[in-house]
Amino acid sequence: MKECKKGRRLGSAVVLLQGVVTALFPRASVRLTKRMIGKNFDNADELEATPAYVRQLRAIGVGMIAAGGTGLLLEDATESKAEVVEAADEATTDGED
């Protein structure tokens, strides 16, 4: 179960980091996309990103920041709640002996 929590936390952190990069440096994302397209299509390096596409990439980056941050916050909240419940269970079982 701990591996699953670590995986979710890592996934949220990766999404958050990718969102920051995409929001701050959308042109880098455009270059990466052109490189990936260039592997399968001719003249992909001649493609030009419109200003609207760059704005959309920034918006996607902001959304990824929100999604990754929310995932991390919810994971921490769930973890804290589980610790409180576990401590309460231990306190009640210690009092019964």
| Tens digits of residue pLDDT in 3-13 | 777 888 899 99
Q: Across the chain, what does the average pLDDT equal?
A: 85
The whole-number pLDDT of residue 4 equals 79
Higher-confidence position of 19 and 92: 19
CA atoms of 17 and 58, how far apart (whole Å): 13
Query: What does the pLDDT look like over 42-54, one tens digit per residue?
Result: 998 898 999 999 9
> In percent, how much of the chain has pLDDT > 90?
56
- Specify the DSSP class assigned to residue 60: H
Q: Is the pTM of this model over 0.75?
A: no
